[in-house]
A and B are shown apart, each in its own frame.
Chain A
Amino acid sequence: MTDEMSITSYLAQGGVLSNPSNVPPRYRAELMKMMATFVDSELAGAAGFADIINEGPGIKARIAAAKIVLEKSDSAEKVLRIMGDFGADTERYADHHPWTARLERDADIGQSRTKHDMRLAVFNYPLEGWADAVVMNLLMGSAVAVQLEELSHVSYQPLAEAFRAIQPIEAHHAELAEEGLMVLVEAQGTKALQELAGYWWPRVAASFGSETSQKFEGLKSMGLRRTPNAELKARWEQAASAVLAKAGLKPAA
């Protein structure tokens, strides 16, 4: 039982790691980035949504928005705890940064991140009112579903388990957004909502990263990724178009 195998080839063959003690340095770095991206996106998403709670039409809508804020914070904590196993100061991490900070509505940042956190670019745009928040949450919700399905297979077992636990919670947020959208369509028609969908569609699409990413093969050999960005994005486009169609809306041209 002593046959030697390097961690690198173990991972390349689909091996799973279970604790920080034998995680190679480059793997650690990519894993930490992946976790920070998720934590920062959830914290920024929750912070942005918190301001929207009071704008919800009726108590039910406000409960739904509050629930989303609560659960996104909870999901952030699940993953931040794993960063803590690697030495991150989790309390300071949650408080070191103004998560409500946003850029201008028409800032042109593409896929880039701001200098000070790892949130996906889409979480840098400000929400402008209830309908805007619902449309953003709907499109991002279906994107998160696709991304979490991919991430629930990462080779670091504690993180894969955390993502598997988070999957149904995020899926429910997308359902809440879908319900919210239907209410809005009934009340005000599709014209203004179509504009919002047109605004968010390319920004959410950008969160799938570069289609020509050089890093994919490296991440794949470490078991941190399995499906190329372009394919994930195509899956989302199909799913999100179908949801929009139910409300009589289309993706951006």
Chain B
Amino acid sequence: MARFHDLEVTDVRKTIRDAVVVTLKPACGAAEEFDFTQGQYLTFRRDFDGEELRRSYSICAGKDEGILQVGIKRVDGGAFSTWANTELKAGDTLQAMPPMGTFFTPLDGAAEKHYLGFAGGSGITPVLSILKTTLDAEPKSSFTLVYANKGVNTIMFREELEDLKNLYMGRFNVIHVLESDAQEIDLFTGLVTEEKCAQLFEHWIDIQSVDTTFICGPEPMMLGIASALRTAGLNDSQIKFELFASAQPGRAKRKAAAADAASSANQTKAAITLDGATQTIEMGKDTTLLDAALENAMDAPYACKAGVCSTCRCKVLEGEVEMVANHALEDYEVEKGYVLSCQAFPLTDNVVVDYDQ
């Protein structure tokens, strides 16, 4: 199971008004665990008023730069990103899991490929890591980046990208598409849509020469780009996506308090919600929530029935249940009310559980 490690914050630098680049150093000999592949992300955890929040941010450093850096853009109402942008400073300690994610393709020093990256806003972070690593590791390959932003002053890593253009002259090309700032070429103004991509492929990007594409941005933008790429003849294995929820909730809701105390009766009334429908059933306290749901013809999810795989996870909204085994859920999930329904027996006379949360 995933383990968290301490990371020392060695630098916090603003890249635009509401985004910071955080440099990290693994503490206590965990350096090896944080040996990342370009395009991967780190999942951080932090306690906010007694409640643990977890957030994932992509690494923006190149693989061989010898540093670990993530970019964090402030999201309106986002507790973690706001804190990172206003209070986080060098010398602090953060906790993160080792790098995860598969937003990359293998590199080959002899390869002569053309890569095409699309980034929207803070979606640049993993793409930046990929393009820096690729241009360094594959001297014959080239990279074209289409980078969408609201305006000039919201472009993260603008100067760094200019420097890279000079460093890799002729191999690295950036097309900035700005939503609200007018540019010399009309095509470079507006949103990156399917139509816009099709136009870019006509005169600006030789799509036939593209081997692999990387897309990271908001959902509608990714859909439009992917559709244009498929129309242009690319197949699924040539299109790599990375999506992080654009609207991350600021703070998780408090767990509902137990409605009533346990009583002596051996029966429980359970209201179980699955696929938007709620069924209220009578069940014995010696039956698991999962078996009770299955016996009542509900199509509750499960696989191992041994508390190992977490397929049967559901959330307890009211009442109390007890898990006899748990090899899959972490403490913070249990605190939020999640249980493995195959291992959960009701303790109170009423329970309300939800598979849809």
Contact = CB atoms under 8 A, between A and B. Distances in A.
Interface of A: 1-5, 7, 10, 13-19, 21-22, 25-26, 28-30, 32-33, 36-37, 40, 83-89, 92-93, 96-97, 115-118, 152-153, 157-158, 160-161, 164, 215, 218
B241 interface: yes
10 contacts: A1-B191, A3-B220, A5-B218, A15-B223, A17-B241, A18-B101, A22-B244, A87-B1, A93-B308, A97-B304
B200 to A, nearest CB: 16
A87 B328 contact: yes
Contact of B246 (A4, A160, A164, A215): A4
B304 A17 contact: no
B244 A118 contact: no
By secondary structure, the B interface counts as loop
Nearest to A85: B100
A164 B356 contact: no
B183 interface: no
Contacts of A218: 275
A33 B191 CA distance: 38
Interface in B311-344: 311-313, 327-330, 333
Nearest to A214: B299
B41 interface: yes
B54 to A, nearest CB: 8
B355 A25 contact: yes
A15 B219 contact: yes
B117 interface: no
B36 to A, nearest CB: 14
A160 B236 contact: yes
Interface of B: 1-2, 41, 43, 56, 100-103, 120-121, 148-150, 179, 191, 217-223, 226-227, 236-237, 240-247, 275, 299, 301-306, 308-313, 327-330, 333, 355-357
A16 B304 contact: no
A10 B222 CA distance: 9
A90 to B, nearest CB: 9
B308 A96 contact: yes
B290 to A, nearest CB: 11
A147 to B, nearest CB: 17
Contacts of B2: 87
Contact of B308 (A13, A25, A30, A88): A88
A157 B2 CA distance: 21
Given A13-B223, A26-B355, A40 B218 contact: no
Given A10-B220, A88-B328, A93-B304, 6 more contacts: A3-B191, A5-B220, A21-B245, A32-B311, A87-B328, A89-B309
A17 B243 contact: yes
A215 B56 CA distance: 32
B246 A32 contact: no
Contact of B245 (A7, A84, A87, A96): A7
B244 to A, nearest CB: 6
B150 A19 contact: no
B146 to A, nearest CB: 12
A122 B11 CA distance: 57
A4 B101 contact: no
Given A19-B100, A32-B303, A89-B1, A4 B247 contact: yes
Contacts of A4: 246-247
B246 A93 contact: no
